[in-house]
Structure formats: structure tokens, C-alpha cells
Structure 1
């Protein structure tokens, strides 16, 4: 009985050791599991910005999707743009095809993060993504703020149930699901609450989500919410955090560093401006809890041999 119990303990430890939060880190092997090393291009919402990003060294392209017009044509379609913009020279369909064409021929491919501003943009984009999805071999993130968060913002979240139903068909995509927030400028004291964390966990469980999940959290608020964010990543299987911030957000550096150290660099994406990222001195965090799997596996097997 003792040997059988020990066997199951070892198998469980090995499974946890070899698990990775999502496929994005393995797609970029040079980062060696350090998610903070992944680089980002933001608001890639025009033809010129897309070409610049594709020709550059960034790994992930973040772009905003809304319903609007393409080159002042009358039809309303999914375009790349950020409110209050409602016109663009780049449609979602053209964005996806350009990235696909680039990645087919590139030695260093890029992933994409689609940030949806409304549920209508999600649902009208879904068949466009479906047309090309079977050809995609690189990371795809689907992002939306699906629940209200700090501090009682009047902006309505994207409908959680409809978003998750639309996203479930993209089984290999990473779901980037977060909270609507009001922060920045004179508002510099806010934290995520137990209720907000519990509501997110409930939504995930109610929809039986099996895709990888990352929680996009506002850096200034995340720095004031260490215990709760550690709790949600610990309680939701196959999940990570993605840190982001607004232009005039106050961010307390030391607690944010502590959050990254607590979770480990294999659990936190850092999608913030370069000056903030540099001030975090991520190179000094080392691996944190990001122990190399083979090292832990060797330790587990060594302990096992002591009992045999």
C-alpha cells in the first residue's frame, strides 16, 4: 500500500513539473519558459503598423478589433482600430491573412492577440477567424474584458457567456479574459476584490473551459492585489497573468516585482511599456519558481529511490 501511494505521489509531481501554462512559451523556445522575455507590439491597427511589426523583432502582435468601415466604404465589418476610431485601412480579414502569409515564409514566426471591444465584434469576427484557423500554427490569443472590476467603471464589459461560447470553437487559442477597470491619473488606489476573483472563477467553471487562460491585469492594480492574484492563478488550471498598464497609471514597482517573483517568470507575461519593464529589473529575478523540469524530475526520482 505504501509503495502504491508513493507511486501516485511521484506521478502527480512529475505531471505538475512537466506541465506548461500554454503553448505560447513553447512556441518561442529561446525564452526558455520565461514569459517575461516575450516581446509585444501594441495597437497594430493599420497597414503601416502591421508591416513595421512584421518586419521587426517583436514576438506577439496585439491588435484591437471593432465594427467599423474599411477605407470609408459603407459596409460595417470587423476592422482593426481602437475606440473612438470607427474607420481603418486594415480589416480583420486582411490582418489575419497578412500574418499568415508572413509566418508561412518566416524563420521567426509571430503570434497574435486580438482584443475585442464589443460582443458584436466577437461574433462577427468568429466566422472570419474560422476560415483561416485550421491553417494557423502560431499562438492566437482572444482577449476581452468580460467582467466589471475596480473601480465601478461605467464601461460595459463584453458579455461573458456570449464571448466564451464564441471562443470555444477555437480550442487551441489562449483565452485572455479580464475585468473592466477605472484607474490612472488621480485614481491610484485600487485592488481586485475577492468577489471579482470569485466571479471570474465561477464563469470559467460554468463554461467548462479547457483552453489555456491568461488573466490580463492592470499593473498598478495588480501591485495592490498580490494575494488575490496568486490565489486565482493557483486555483485555475493552466492559467497565467498578463500585466498591462495605461499611459498615466501609477505603478508601485516593488510589490509588482514581488508578484512576479511569487508566481514565477513562467506564469507572468509582461506587456507594458519599455520604461516600466526596465524599472522592474526582471533580469534580477532569475528563474523565480521557474525551475527547469528536468531538474525537478531528477529530484523526484532521487527521492523515490530512497524508498525502494
Structure 2
């Protein structure tokens, strides 16, 4: 009738009955297609876009920053920790100060003859509780707070995750859920009781839709000045994650570290975070630990606010963080600021060689690791040979493949005045070599036959840390090669010293080498027997 009325007004012909049927069939057809798509796809949004667009789905895998809307500042997330009894569970749910509720899980009677198959909320050495994991979920999983469970025994993993899965199927959890386990041995820690492979496979099978939280076992010591999460520790964690890289695609990962062990560990943890996609760091404070205010500010200064969480449970530290989180530079130790001056700058270097070897170079603002001789790095800028310019840095050698070093072969090459460097095995220039055993060498590398050969060597006693500081100055007619073996490379106090390095090799360069052209610098491992971690790498101009 409406069409007939409008057609009369505008002088249009009446709509044929067949045309009306055609429109009805089209509408029904489109509705049917939408119905089929929605049911087969599980929603209107294509499945391949869902992991990349979290705003279209809220589930236990949702990030805390999104769920709690804290303006990308993870330090604003407040934690209720050790919520392992009925009263604390009820209190934490009603307390508006808390965003996340954390609890610990063991099997009732853990480690005794009376151990049962019932997961309860308790933190070892406690082995019993007045609340089971099932009951705990009923109380804390209200929807307005997130939860984190810490699994303390291998026996409790599958049972607990099965309970979590069944609870989610009955009452879908539309808030952040973190599942945590200590899977590696850390500073002063015992051997972990959780086997990562078994834990990870069980998690992926039963409850993959969560934030994966991983940590190291830790302990304490009367003197923590030399303690840290070592490069080997964070490297081991990287290996675990990279082994399951495909399964962890688009999943959130958090690495947990103890505040009292942070002083010498920030570069290592930042390097780990930089090399794992969608990862963050959680700094937690153990009751009774003695910590320095500056250590809290050090982490706040080095990590972007959306990539570091804090579970401090300490009024003074929490107040300090709240007041100075965005002015942390004013509160850090002077050595932290001094380290800024010698930090590695990845954007100043290019990767060369076999690009398919993606893990042959692991770079961060904290350090770069070269693990394969078929890939090298080259400075983007080129420099004239002059006494006013020098390259400096530190290299630490690791033997993660448990191989024997070869004298004058296993180590790091630093090339000066390279003219050809597209192929890793045919770099033309002056080779400055630091051997893993303390050998030093300056020689020509693939130079034209018209240039006289030259080679000068020296030997120094290596330290147990396998760490060396170096400085190379190309003075046009001479090359100065200064190297020093360092006893410590991880302590913050070992940042670049003020004293000058002593040149152990000073080599007169033969005629025929071009000394009036600009050239880049190149760093490359000589063989596969060691991996080289390079930090404090920079090209300096003398004042």
C-alpha cells in the first residue's frame, strides 16, 4: 500500500507481484547465508581476525590493560596475593582496591602419605586449607576481578586445569585468567618441581585460553650484591618459549622476577621481553625481603609502562611507584643513567648474511647476541679512519652448545675498513679478533695480493666470567686494539669505568690499504663453538 501511495504521488507504475516475490526471496536468502556463516564461524567476525582483535571477544585470555582500562599503565593493576582461605577470598572480592586475585594450589596433604587428589588453596610449606580450588573459584570468579593461580606441584597441574576448564564451561569467565608455574631454576633457587613440557602440553590441551605466566625458583642470601637473573637463565627461558612459538602465537606471556634480585637483572629481563612477542614482566616482592627504593624505580625507568606489572604488597614501595612511575628518571641510581650512554642501539646496525636464520641474532636495546657465524651485523654509518673515532663495547662468550673452543679461531671478529662484506665468508678488511680463551689478533682478511700480509697477536688471561671490554681506534697508519678481561659483567656497578683501556696491540698498517675513504664496522662470530653477547656497543667521537 505504501508503494502504491508513493507511486501515485510521483507518477510511478505499480510494483509487479513477481518483483515483490523476488525481493522476499533475496531477503530470505541473505538471512539464511548470515545464519549459516554465524553458526559455522562462531560469530560474525572471521576467525582468522579474532586473535588480532581482542576487543571483539572477552574471555579468560583478555589482557589486564584492556579489561581494567588503566590507560596502558600496568603499575595501576593492584594484586591480592596469597588468597588461600575462605575469609581472604571473600574479603578480596569485596575490596575495591584489588584488580587481580592470586592464589596457590597444591594437592591436599602434598608430599605426605595422606596426599589426596583434591586441589586446595595453600602455599608450600602449607599443605592443607579450609577451601578447595573449586570453592575458591565459586567465590572469586565473580566477573569484576581477574584471577591468577600458581601451581606448586606437578601432580596438581592436570587436576586443577581440568577443574578450571569445567568451571569455565559452566560459567564462562569473561575476565583475565593467569596460570603461573616456576619452570626454571633461578637465583639461589631449588630445582623446579614443575616440568615445563608436561605443564605446557597439559595447559594447551585443557585450558589454553589464558595468560601464561612463567617464572624461576628463587631463594635468598645474606649478600645479594652479586646476585642476578643471569643471561643463561633468561636465555633458557627464551629457548622454552621459542620451542613452542607457533602454539604461543598471539598469546600473552608474563615473566615473573623477584624484586630483591632485580638490581643486576634489568638488562637481562628487558632483553628477554624484547625477544618474545606479546610478553610482559611482573616484579613481585617477597615479604621480609630487603630492597632498595632505587631498584623499583630502575624497572619503572627501563620498561615501558604497558609492559611491566608490580605485585609489591608493600605500602612504601607501592606509594613510591604511584608517585614517581612517570618521573622515574629522577629516582634511579646514577649508574643507571651512566649506562644509558653506552647502551646498544639496534637501529644503528644492519643484519647481513642468511636472513632465514632469524634467531642467529637476538637484539635488544640492552644487548645483541650473535649465535651463528653465517650472519653478522654492520654499522649503518660509515667512518673515516681517524684517531678521533673509536668503536667500543663488551663481549661475553657462552658455551651453550657444550663445545670445545679452538685457539685463535673461536671468538669474535671486529672488522675495520671493510670493502666487501655481502658474503659472510668473504669479508675484506682488517680483522680484530678476541678469542674465547683470551687470544688477541690483528690481521688482514681476504686482502688483495698486492697488499703485504700482516699479523700481530697477544694473549691475556681470561676471567671466569668470559667477559672482555674492547676499544679499537683506526689511526690511518696504525691500529690500536685495547682489551681488558672483566671479572664481573652483570653487576650494575660494572658499567663502563672512567679509566682508559690500555692498548695491548698497536699495529702498523701496510701501505696499499685505503685510509681516505669511509667504511662501516662489522661484528661477526668466527665459528659455532661459542655464542657472543655484546653490550655497551657504540661508536664514539673523542671529545
TM-score, normalised with respect to structure 1? 0.78
1:263 is aligned to: 303
- Cα deviation for residue 97 of structure 1 reads 2.1
Of 95, 103, 118, the residue aligned with 2:153 is 118
Alpha-carbon spacing, 1:200–1:39, altered in 2? closer, same or farther (3 Å): same
- Cα deviation for residue 155 of structure 1 reads 4.5
- Cα deviation for residue 126 of structure 1 reads 1.6
| Residues 44-55 of structure 1 aligned to structure 2 (within 5 Å) | 44-55=83-94
| Residues 1-308 of structure 1 aligned to structure 2 (within 5 Å) | 23-29=63-69, 31-57=70-96, 58-68=98-108, 75-100=116-141, 102-103=142-143, 109-134=144-169, 135-151=172-188, 153-169=189-205, 170-183=207-220, 187=224, 189-208=226-245, 209-210=248-249, 211-278=251-318, 280-286=320-326
User: Whose RCO is larger (CA < 8 A, sep 6+)?
Assistant: 1
Structure 1 segments of 4+ aligned residues over 6 angstroms from their partners: none
Alignment partners' CA distance in 2, 1:184 and 1:115: 24
- C-alpha offsets along residues 57-106 of structure 1, whole Å, 9 cap, x if unaligned? 1110010000006xxx9843111011122221111111112233x32xxx
Which structure 1 segments of 5+ residues have no match?
Answer: 1-14, 16-20, 104-108, 289-308
- C-alpha offsets along residues 220-250 of structure 1, whole Å, 9 cap, x if unaligned? 1122211111101111100111111222222
Alignment partners' CA distance in 2, 1:111 and 1:144: 17
Alpha-carbon spacing, 1:22–1:258, altered in 2? closer, same or farther (3 Å): farther
Alpha-carbon spacing, 1:90–1:171, altered in 2? closer, same or farther (3 Å): same
Residue pair 2:182, 2:217 contacting (<8 A) in 1 also: yes
Alpha-carbon spacing, 1:285–1:98, altered in 2? closer, same or farther (3 Å): closer
- Cα deviation for residue 120 of structure 1 reads 1.0
- Cα deviation for residue 53 of structure 1 reads 0.6
Alignment partners' CA distance in 2, 1:284 and 1:256: 10
- Cα deviation for residue 263 of structure 1 reads 1.1
Higher helix share: 1
Alignment partners' CA distance in 1, 2:266 and 2:229: 9
Alpha-carbon spacing, 1:80–1:227, altered in 2? closer, same or farther (3 Å): same
Residue pair 1:265, 1:287 contacting (<8 A) in 2 also: no
TM-score, normalised with respect to structure 2? 0.45
- Cα deviation for residue 287 of structure 1 reads 8.2
Alpha-carbon spacing, 1:200–1:75, altered in 2? closer, same or farther (3 Å): closer
After superposing the two structures, state which structure 1 stretch, 220-229 or 112-121, moved more. Answer: 220-229
Alpha-carbon spacing, 1:189–1:248, altered in 2? closer, same or farther (3 Å): farther
1:10 is aligned to: none
- Cα deviation for residue 118 of structure 1 reads 0.9
Residue pair 2:108, 2:115 contacting (<8 A) in 1 also: no
Residue pair 1:146, 1:158 contacting (<8 A) in 2 also: yes
Alignment partners' CA distance in 2, 1:179 and 1:64: 16
After superposing the two structures, state which structure 1 stretch, 183-192 or 80-89, moved more. Answer: 183-192
Residue pair 1:185, 1:250 contacting (<8 A) in 2 also: no
Alignment partners' CA distance in 2, 1:156 and 1:171: 22
Residue pair 1:184, 1:249 contacting (<8 A) in 2 also: no
Max Rg structure: 2
RMSD, matched Cα = 2.5
Alignment partners' CA distance in 2, 1:218 and 1:129: 27
Aligned length: 260
Alignment partners' CA distance in 1, 2:230 and 2:62: 26
Higher strand share: 2
Residue pair 2:90, 2:140 contacting (<8 A) in 1 also: no
Alpha-carbon spacing, 1:156–1:129, altered in 2? closer, same or farther (3 Å): same
2:501 is aligned to: none
1:297 is aligned to: none
Q: Secondary structure at the match of 2:306?
A: coil
Alignment partners' CA distance in 1, 2:324 and 2:240: 36
